[in-house]
Structure 1
Amino acid sequence: MAYTSEPKLISGNANRPLATSVARRLSMHRGMNVQLCDARVERFNDGEIFVEVYENVRGEDMFIIQPTSNPANDNLMELLIITDTLRRSSAGRITAVIPYFGYARQDRRTKARTPISAKLVANMMVEAGIERILTMDLHATQIQGFFDIPVDNLYASPVFALDIKHHFKDGLEDVMVVSPDVGGVARARELAKRINAPLSIVDKRREKAGEIAEMTVIGDVKGKKCIIVDDLCDTAGTLCKAAENLLDHGAEEVHAYITHGVLSGPAVERVTNSVMKSLVITDTIEASDAVKNCPNIRIVPTAPLFAQGIINTWNGTSVSSLFENETLVPLYEGLYHL
């Protein structure tokens, strides 16, 4: 149903810059000043989270912007407590905008006596009072089925396609999209189709967790500008090794497009010293100073996509229309000249 009042935004502390950018984009779309809801989300001395909303939200269509990135547990609890606050304040509908969905890598039992944490997190969100989820590039798309509420999973590949067409416009015929593992082929194929490029795969074999024993390149990458595409990059070990492997197989240069730049531990140092020409990430996770200052890391904004997704959710129109170039290009026309 379409709500008569304007959508209201509230943010936790996980990624305030993104929430502010979304509010700014909404202001442009609505032709009026859209601000984040006046609230405080803070911690007591013992680490407990406290939330207080300073404005009336009764009957309002509320959107909580809060990725559950590092520290995942703190940010998840913030999301749940904000939700409970809004529910007890008689909000009309509560939608969680979760640019990065933490615990998504724990989507199945990999061995005996292990949890399916993604399902547990889904249960907690629904029980808290969230009625709809808007997220981006879930690590495993079947997580949508863990919820008994609507889940809209946006994709970064349409935006990456615009970025690639802009930055590689003089040599697009030499571009090859590479999946860093067999499991990511569908994601890589989608991007390859959008830019009309061939597809290659790096097949990796592990002897034990965290250690790669062997990498095999499937496809002819000789003389190609290879673009590795994946949903997230954590410590960047696999990514940097895949880049070296591609160059060893004759690739002209290697770039990477990753949706979620987790970039923990030695990741930034590895990327800085790697053979990759560039690593492109989105701002679904707030970038650290080290990431911002890294010369070969570039950040693509997602605020235009999330702002339009919020508007479409609010007024009851199609969210999947954001996957089409006809809808997407106008949102990014100030950034890309195609």
Structure 2
Amino acid sequence: MPAMTEPKLIAGNANRPLAHAISRRMSMHRGMNVEPIKARVERFNDQEIFVEVYENVRGEDMYIIQSTSNPANDNLMELLIITDALKRSSADRITAVIPYFGYARQDRRAKARTPISAKLVANLLTEAGVDRVLTLDLHAAQIQGFFDIPVDNLYAAPIFSLDIMHHFRDKLGELMVVSPDVGGVARAREIAQRIKAPLAIVDKRREKPGEIAEMTVIGDVSGKTCIIVDDICDTAGTLCKAAQTLVDNGATEVHAYITHGVLSGPAIDRVESSVMKSLVITDSIEPSDLVRSARNIRIVPTAPMFAQAILNIWNGTSVSSLFELETLGPIYEGLYHTE
């Protein structure tokens, strides 16, 4: 049954440009102004986080927009404290919109005596009072099962497919989608099927943690324009080495589509000096000035998809409909032309 109140947004400090872009898109859809509510999220001198909400939220359907990216701990605590402030102010439902879900890489015990931090984060969010989570390309799909509340996991694959069909429309027959490791095959296959391209895999072998001894390409990439697909680019070491391996195996060009541009440490320098023609990321993490000015890094917006997903949740309609190009295409109309 559709909600009677309007959806209300509140933005943390992790990615304010995305929060305002989402509010602008929602305003266009609703035909009325949908602005993040007035609140202050600040720190005391000892770095304790303080939140004060300036507007009445009693009985409201609230959406907190906050990625838990670097600094992950600060942004996570902001999200928890904002949630507590809304809960104690009698908000009816609280949805955490987390474009980048931090700690997702710690989704299992890889060794003895290690934590499953993603599960701990899920417990913290639930105990704080979050009623629903909306996120994008979780590193591991099973993290949805760590929650006892609904989790809507959106996918960048439809957006990337639209972008690929627009930018490579003159050579779609030359494309080869590549997974940079065996674990990411399902993600790469999704895009390969959407753009009707073949699939290759880069198999990496490590002699010790953090050091890649050998990379082997499974599939014939000679004469192909290769598109590497993955969910996270952190230091970009593996990505750049995979791109070089593809070129060494005969690829004519290499591009990469990565959902979450963490891009820490030497990542930007590595990408700019690599053989990759372009690295395409989303704005799930607020891009730094260095990222925006990098010669071969391009950013695609997620605000249209998140805005529509929020409206669908608020209105009680399907979120999974956004997984299809037929639904997502009109939302991105004007940005991409695939014919």
TM-score of the aligned structures, taking structure 1 as reference length: 1.00
* TM-fit CA distance, 1:127: 0.1
The reply to whether residue 269 of structure 1 matches residue 259 of structure 2 is no
Q: Take 2:85 and 2:143, find their aligned partners in 1: how far apart are those partners?
A: 26
Q: Take 2:189 and 2:241, find their aligned partners in 1: how far apart are those partners?
A: 21
Correspondence for 2:311: 311
Correspondence for 2:283: 283
Correspondence for 1:36: 36
Correspondence for 1:147: 147
Q: Take 2:6 and 2:206, find their aligned partners in 1: how far apart are those partners?
A: 51
Q: Take 2:152 and 2:207, find their aligned partners in 1: how far apart are those partners?
A: 36
Correspondence for 2:88: 88
Q: Deviations over 1:249-290 (max 9, x none)?
A: 000000000000000000000001000000000000000111
Correspondence for 2:167: 167
Correspondence for 2:24: 24
Correspondence for 1:130: 130
Q: Deviations over 1:10-64 (max 9, x none)?
A: 0100000000000000000000011011000000000000000000000000000
Q: Take 2:334 and 2:65, find their aligned partners in 1: how far apart are those partners?
A: 24
Please tell me the residue identity of whatever aligns with 1:43.
Answer: R
Correspondence for 1:15: 15
Please tell me the residue identity of whatever aligns with 1:131.
Answer: D
Q: Take 2:182 and 2:231, find their aligned partners in 1: how far apart are those partners?
A: 13
Q: What secondary structure does 1:204 align onto?
A: strand
Moved over 2 A (4+): none
Q: Take 2:331 and 2:98, find their aligned partners in 1: how far apart are those partners?
A: 20
Q: Take 2:4 and 2:251, find their aligned partners in 1: how far apart are those partners?
A: 55
Correspondence for 2:295: 295
Correspondence for 1:179: 179
Q: Take 1:61 and 1:205, find their aligned partners in 2: how far apart are those partners?
A: 48
Q: Deviations over 1:88-117 (max 9, x none)?
A: 000010000000000000000000000000
Correspondence for 1:210: 210
Q: What secondary structure does 1:336 align onto?
A: coil
Correspondence for 1:326: 326
Unmatched tracts of structure 2, length 5 or more: none
* TM-fit CA distance, 1:207: 1.5
Q: Take 2:101 and 2:92, find their aligned partners in 1: how far apart are those partners?
A: 24
Q: Take 1:130 and 1:2, find their aligned partners in 2: how far apart are those partners?
A: 20
Q: Take 2:210 and 2:328, find their aligned partners in 1: how far apart are those partners?
A: 37
Correspondence for 1:49: 49
* TM-fit CA distance, 1:3: 1.6
Q: Take 1:208 and 1:120, find their aligned partners in 2: how far apart are those partners?
A: 28
Please tell me the residue identity of whatever aligns with 1:170.
Answer: D
Q: Take 1:266 and 1:160, find their aligned partners in 2: how far apart are those partners?
A: 25
Identical-pair percentage: 79
Q: Take 1:208 and 1:5, find their aligned partners in 2: how far apart are those partners?
A: 55
Q: Take 1:123 and 1:83, find their aligned partners in 2: how far apart are those partners?
A: 13
Q: Take 1:124 and 1:103, find their aligned partners in 2: how far apart are those partners?
A: 12
Please tell me the residue identity of whatever aligns with 2:279.
Answer: L
Please tell me the residue identity of whatever aligns with 1:182.
Answer: V
Q: Take 1:300 and 1:210, find their aligned partners in 2: how far apart are those partners?
A: 30
TM-score of the aligned structures, taking structure 2 as reference length: 0.99
* TM-fit CA distance, 1:2: 2.7
